[in-house]
Amino acid sequence: MSASAEAPERRRRGGGRAARVASRAAPLSEDTRPVRPGMKGGQYNPLTEAEVQRIHHAALEALEVVGVSQAPETGQKAMIEAGAILGDDGRLRFPRALVEDMLAKAARGITLHGRSSQFDLQLTDTRVHFGTAGAAVNVVDAVTGEYEPSTIKDLYDSARLAQNLDNIHFFQRTMVACDIRDVTELDVNTAYACLSGTQKHIGTSISDPITVEPVMDLLHVVAGSEEAWRARPFMSMSCCFVVPPMKFATESCEAMEKCIAAGMPVLLLSAGQAGATAPAPIATAIVQAVAECLAGVVYVNAIAPGHPAIFGTWPFVSDLRTGAMSGGSAEQALLSAGCAQMHRFYGIPGGAAGGMTDSKVPDMQAGWEQGIINVLSGLSGLNMVYESVGMYASLMGFSPEGMVLGNDVIGQALRCVRGIDVTEDALSMEVMKSVCLNDGPGHYLGTDQTLSLMQTEYLYPDIGNRMTPKDWNEQGRPALLEAAQARVKGILSEAPSLIAPDLDRAVRERFAIHF
């Protein structure tokens, strides 16, 4: 055949290959991505069914016998009217029948809204979502290891990072703005920095009742009206409603009541520390956290039946040699996974602490601690895995580079959650026959099956390096941390505020915004 006759055929083959390459490079639809928000976990169960029952009954006994003290007057009145009993010692005690009645009224199938519906989270069954949290008071320089007080600008930047990292599904405030002293301005600026940086669902803390009204005013302005806000509440209150062991946090509860009246979802957060403010045995630390959160379920549903509330069992671990918190331990992974089983037992949406680390900088220790805890949390079917990226020194420090590195860690954790697809197509022998028999090529490279699964079955890291040693040397031995720094810089150089300029002007005319 002449060269001129061959040319059209070569062009046809080249054009087909180019089309296939372009197709593989195109963004995948949400339902074909190898990992995505809300994939179902539940494959890992550290507790047997009998052990779950024992923890449940122990928690009910704690509520009946020990009870919870220091409820604010309004909450105490509502819970007594619902069936709680006030003892002579000032402690509220909860009969089992009352707890069961309130569990029956508790919200299930909660949707946490984003400002854009593409970021809505469905908290049902064992659907897993990873996100931030932690309220660090420092930002760590990943190179020098220096810790500096965090600012409102740092918080805004971390929200912008979260918006542009696919495996971070929601954004709960990562840092405290240490440069703002006034409590009202602090809470308003915290909410606005988060809103300016991301359209994903936001969690924020409101610890003082006096700040609820101005924060809600801000949310109504951003939403367009109070009605629009109530239709799609895109921010939830992270409420430390208890001070372990077994005491209500009076001011936080008063703020929670106001947020509930304003239509804001709440995270009922119990954060005891095993060996310090919670019992040292892992099982009993779970018992106390469950008991405290069950008291929260009674509280919320006594004042607003069916209000969206997340069962936030967040027991932490102590290093019993020193009493210091150990957020990156294997015990922490077991605590969070065990709590996920209790959420599933009650059939209500739950969250717990995830991939924080005791390491001070993004290093190997940080990697193994974050990986172990995030994988077990995901496999346990935890609906909301908080603190899963960026949190260092047992929540004392935040690292932007750690956040983008953590995005890769979460991706791998989600791939484990997805598991192995055992389908008729996957197990078909036709591809194996065509490769191995009748003078087939002897390999699977280039087969339609391999090419079709490149993006949908396999996950590729954004930052992780898979070069051969030869290629790595030829490329100048690129370091992981340098790649993370470049990714942070690239995102922040391009990510705009997500508040429209005219709306931003209106907000700044009404509120004292510090960034």
The per-residue pLDDT for range 235-256, each reduced to its tens digit, is 999 999 999 999 999 999 999 9
Question: In whole angstroms, what separates CA 319 from the centre of its chain?
Answer: 24
Cα dihedral sign for 494, 499, 502, 506? negative
How much of the chain, in percent, has pLDDT values that exceed 70?
95
- Answer whether residue 272 shows pLDDT above 90: yes
Residue 320, domain extent: 73-418
What CATH number does residue 138 fall under? 3.20.20.480
Average the pLDDT over 274-280 and give the result: 95
User: Is 65 a member of any domain?
Assistant: no
- Answer whether residue 24 shows pLDDT above 70: no
pLDDT at 57: 98
Query: What mean pLDDT, rounded, does the chain reach?
Result: 94
pLDDT at 20: 52
User: Is 34 a member of any domain?
Assistant: no
* Integer-rounded Cα radius of gyration of the chain: 25
The per-residue pLDDT for range 2-12, each reduced to its tens digit, is 444 444 443 33
pLDDT at 30: 80
pLDDT at 194: 98
Confidence of residue 18 (pLDDT cuts 50, 70, 90): low
* Structure tokens that stand for 24 in this block: 């593989």
- In SS3 terms, 263-286 reads as CCCEEEEECCEECCCECCCHHHHH
What is the DSSP-derived secondary structure letter of residue 497? P
Amino acid in the structure at residue 492? L
CA 124 – CA 129 distance, rounded (Å): 11
Average the pLDDT over 470-490 and give the result: 97
Strand partners, 140: 147
The per-residue pLDDT for range 139-189, each reduced to its tens digit, is 999 999 999 999 999 999 999 999 999 999 999 999 999 999 999 999 999
CA 128 – CA 41 distance, rounded (Å): 6
User: Is 325 a member of any domain?
Assistant: yes
Average the pLDDT over 442-463 and give the result: 92
pLDDT at 15: 47
Average the pLDDT over 410-438 and give the result: 93
User: Is 425 a member of any domain?
Assistant: no
CA 134 – CA 274 distance, rounded (Å): 18
Lowest mean pLDDT among 44-53, 451-460, 477-486: 451-460
CA angle 144, 146, 149 (to 5 degrees): 145
- Answer whether residue 107 shows pLDDT above 80: yes
Amino acid in the structure at residue 450? T
The per-residue pLDDT for range 369-419, each reduced to its tens digit, is 999 999 999 999 999 999 999 999 999 999 999 999 999 999 999 999 999
Short-list 42, 43, 89, 97, CA closest to 70: 89
pLDDT at 425: 85
User: Is 475 a member of any domain?
Assistant: no
- Answer whether residue 193 shows pLDDT above 70: yes
- Answer whether residue 331 shows pLDDT above 70: yes
* pTM of the model as a whole: 0.94
CA 474 – CA 320 distance, rounded (Å): 48
Short-list 360, 362, 386, 392, CA closest to 374: 386
Average the pLDDT over 433-445 and give the result: 93
pLDDT at 22: 54
- Answer whether residue 91 shows pLDDT above 60: yes
What is the DSSP-derived secondary structure letter of residue 359? -
User: Is 54 a member of any domain?
Assistant: no
Confidence of residue 207 (pLDDT cuts 50, 70, 90): confident
The answer to whether 385 and 354 have CB atoms below 8 angstroms apart is: yes
pLDDT at 23: 54
Task: Indicate the angle between helix axes 364-379 and 330-346, nearest 10 degrees.
Answer: 20
User: Is 307 a member of any domain?
Assistant: yes
User: Is 19 a member of any domain?
Assistant: no
pLDDT at 7: 42
Number of domains, the chain: 1
